[in-house]
Amino acid sequence: MKIKSLVIALFSILLFSNCQEKVKEDTVKENYLDFSKRDDQATGGIKMIPITTPVGKFNVWTKTVGNNPKIKVLLLHGGPGGTHEFFESFDGYFPQESIEYIYYDQLGSYYSDQPNDNRLWTNERFVEEVEQVRKALKLDNTNFYLMGQSWGGILAMEYALKYQKNLKGLIIANMMASAPAYNKYAEEVLGPKLPKEVFEQIKTFEKNKDYTNPKYTELLFKYYYTEHILRKPIEEWPESINRAFKHLNPNVYVFMQGPSEFGITGDATLKNWDVTARLKTLTVPTLVIGAKYDTMDPKHMEWISKEVQNGRFLYCPNGSHCSQYDDQEHYFPGVISFLKDVDSGNFKKD
């Protein structure tokens, strides 16, 4: 009888616990689109956040979608000088999972202030900008997930290396931890996969610094972008992607990344960037996303997931650099699973 009573008691506790969790989930879902208690209701979630920099004060654009007190994902776009528009496919996946996410245009990007001062375009200053945005949005380690894609992945790593105590989770998408390793992969692996005569033409244009030549752009789009940036014919590229490229700030992009898509070249400030030796200091739960056809080496991405102390690797077998568009069937379930596992306390590293 005692055993029977114990079993009943344990079952009751389990049932009660599950009911409590269900109530919490239902409450989050019910209030997900309720802006009535928020200070950004009048603007539909948009906030212009004041940023202090060494050369003056500016404003950056953010837009919060949804309400979830435990899962808030700040999105760091690529470029540098890109926009939040690269992430607009998230609208089709995060809301139905009641995940709160924040679009954010970094300083110099289209929807934010665009000062013409190259002293602003440093990793260190961008990290402090993210920290100011975090504070303004009242994000902390009970709810703050930082997700960076491409250049945003560099920024996410740099932020975590300094401020991981503020994070609940970190997502590094489509970005290696070393610019020299990225250059090597582009030059020795991706380039030679192109038709020989095409690769030679591209290298000739780059050697002559003829980056604005229409033929150079045509070759890149036809043979490289549709293979490694977004694996769809150009005429089928999503409108949000086309808009993002249209809004790219070339001044910031070229200063930090350089004019070439085959690695980080010229006098670009990111040319020698490398944090591989520091990754082992990251203890925050981390998801690293790599794709088969990416401009970034997916094996390196998997290595990052094992180098950090609590990492998980998400592989997109059909994806490229923008796998949030061309491999959504793997990308979004993997990202959502990571967020929910960390939130529930069930996260396990690979």
Q: Which residues are catalytic?
A: 150, 294, 321
- 343 CB neighbour count, 10 Å cutoff: 18
Encoding tokens for residue 211?
């980056």
**Residues linked to residue 49 through DSSP beta bridges, in sequence order:** 60
User: What share of residues in the chain are helix, strand, coil (percent, to 5)?
Assistant: 50, 15, 35
For strand 56-65 and strand 46-53, is the pairing parallel, antiparallel, or unpaired? Answer: antiparallel
Q: Name the DSSP class of 178.
A: B
What backbone phi and psi angles, to 5 degrees, belong to 280? -65, -15
Answer for the pair 114, 183: CB distance below 8 angstroms, yes or no: no
Q: Which residues contact 10 (CB under 8 A, 6 or more apart)?
A: none
Residues 6 or more apart whose CB falls under 8 angstroms from that of 32 comprise 66, 67, 68, 95, 98, 100
Q: Report the alpha-carbon distance of residue 158 to residue 167 in Å, rounded.
A: 13
Could you tell me if 74 and 133 are in contact, meaning their C-beta atoms sit under 8 angstroms apart?
yes
